[in-house]
Structure 1
Amino acid sequence: MIASRQWLTPLGLAMVALVVVTAGLGGPGFNTSGLGLLNLLSALVFAGSAVPFLVHEKLPAPAYVSSMVLMALAVVGMRAADPASEVIALFLLAAFAPLRSPRPVLAAVTLLGVLAFNVLQLGTAHSALALILATDAGVAFFFLVGTLLRREKEQRLRITELLHELQVSREAEREASLEAERARMAREMHDVLAHTLSGLVLQLEGARLLAQGSRADPRVLETIQQAQQLSRSGLAEARDAVRTLRGQDLPGPDRIGSLVDQHRLASAGQTSFIDRGIPAPLTPEAELALYRAAQESLSNVRKHAPGSDVEVELVWGPGTVDLYVTNTSGPPETPTGAPGYGLTGMTERADLAGGTVTAGPFPGGFRVHLSLPYADAAPGGATGT
């Protein structure tokens, strides 16, 4: 909106140039002595004072007052040098006065300049009174134009401020709505999923004790123990999810090792975890994206390629951290049931953190690769761990 009015300053500067040209073409013109010198000096003082007055909007108030005084003196000087000169400079003086502060002082200076101009008009015209009235009417009109331009600018600035406040208010409202929704989901997960898993853990503990007491097949006991461990891990994951929704204790790359340990308990294949380089600061979104990508990838291996070997590699490189989850030596990936949204979720999290996700067949298996930038683009190390 402000840019749409940028033509006003060039227009004002063009009018100042017109005043100088008009003064030079007048009766005495520009000279090095007499009225020509007075005319030349007055025109130069007017232009030299008007240009900074128009171009700079944040000068100290005394600077604007000084510029207005010099312009008023220059207008009177050009009139004294050439009694037949045009009144353009006086009209510009009136139009400029409302544009800067302190406005009452600038208006008073303009009024004094107009009165001095009128005094000079009294002795240089046949119909002096009519000429003075016409001149003063023109001055009043241009002063009103300047006032309207100033108010229009103030209104535009106020509208810009209100739009910014509205945007901030909408962002705050959206954040409050998201926070309320996260809190609701956290309550639902705590009241339903966490309680259900807690009951499942107790039931499996009872089944384990019963199997031990009844001398059941050791394989049955081992299966119950594995199911119990997985249910406890699921309960811990549910509690982590609740804390995440409430903005507390977000999981990050430091917990990927525990995900690998949980996968070992649930899978018959070999599982390895390699952490290379020196960890660097990440944004909260990037930390959570790393953890969720590892979690989803390992879950997909258990679902689509049970029994396959898995290698999880976390590489802290120069500028980015890369997560590779590769499953090999297992049966081909054959999805069972309805397709999930794990890869879509990984991609969305990576986009929010400024990273990328690629997933596809790999020689002998399947690979997921997540790459994320550091919070401050700090370089990573290259030493293995």
Structure 2
Amino acid sequence: MQVTEMRRWLARHARIRDALPSVVLIVIAVAATAAGDSGWHAPRVAGVAWTALTCVPLVFRSRWPLPVAVLTLAVDLAVMALAPDHALTPAASLVALYTLATRSDRRTAWTVAVIAAAAITGVYAATHQEPLLVGTSLLRFDFAIAATALGDAVRSRRRHLALAEARAENAERTREEEARRRVTEERVRIARELHDVVAHHITLVNAQAGVAHHLMRTDPDRAYEALAHIKDNSRAALDELRTTVGLLRQPDDAPDSRAPVPSLADLDSLVGGVRGGGLSVTVTSTGVRRSLAPSVELTAYRIIQEALTNTHKHAAAAHAEVTLDYGATTLRVTVTDDGAPHAAGGPGSGHGLIGMRERATAIGGTVTAGARREGGFQVVAELPHSPAPTSV
């Protein structure tokens, strides 16, 4: 049987668990009474019987720790007074004191411990006709204090672990609630954005289809022109639908925002705001600059915005550099800083890098991020000039 299974079984059988120390103490008593200077002999029945008597209350030590500690101490003291030749170390009382320290408040545990230690020391000194302050008498005092100290340490550790587990459960619950809240907000935003896109483009397509139907026989040229408009509007609708679904995770946008969709033309304004916050930013453009699809420009803008925000908030950097490299088919966006390595989403969130990758993936691009060998952090995005074809 595995250790964990044994613990679970003992947790379901409290009385057996509480009696285990009694079994161990009785076995020790048998061995102690059977050992002698001339070798092993039959154990003394009286000594084992007295030990078994003192261990009886321990069966209920976890249910009633204080009464069991008092009763066990009384029995041990009685055995020490009535049968000093058979009395061993009051081990049952030590187990009871340990249990009391693990299951009661500190004040109660230490009050009982001091009283028990003084009583055990006094009775032992009186029955063995020894001075109170000699080593053998004080050893009993030390045993009682040590048992309580061990139980107090175990109780403190259990409390610390319980608090840590409670904090972890609360953090997990908070993360789940935050995730549900984000999902709800995103659903609302998707519904609003889809309504705007579908209502606009489908209305146009419907009107142009009506014109084409009306002119199909009387004016084929104009009907053909209307069909071409239908094709253009349906393609634009598909592009906007893809962009809306893929790029809605923008927690910095207000839910009722009606501002124009940002693009690389707004990069100077973005960088100016970051500079105003105290971070030096350099923007470099290489290659032949060309017109990009709106969704690509939006993605590039958001990735730069997220990277600079994380640099400013988490990296303790003095300088950041943004590079736009216009290739033949892709735009390479690189954001580097000279600060400490930092997570793209900031401590504890992780949404920043996830959001960047989602935005890039939605248009057929990629994002990589990590610490640089020479220090600092780097985010690199490879974005196509046009979004990847949509599978419909």
TM class by shorter-chain length?
0.3 to 0.5
* TM-score, length-scaled by structure 1: 0.44
* TM-score, length-scaled by structure 2: 0.44
More relative contact order, 1 or 2 (CA 8 Å, 6+ apart)? 1
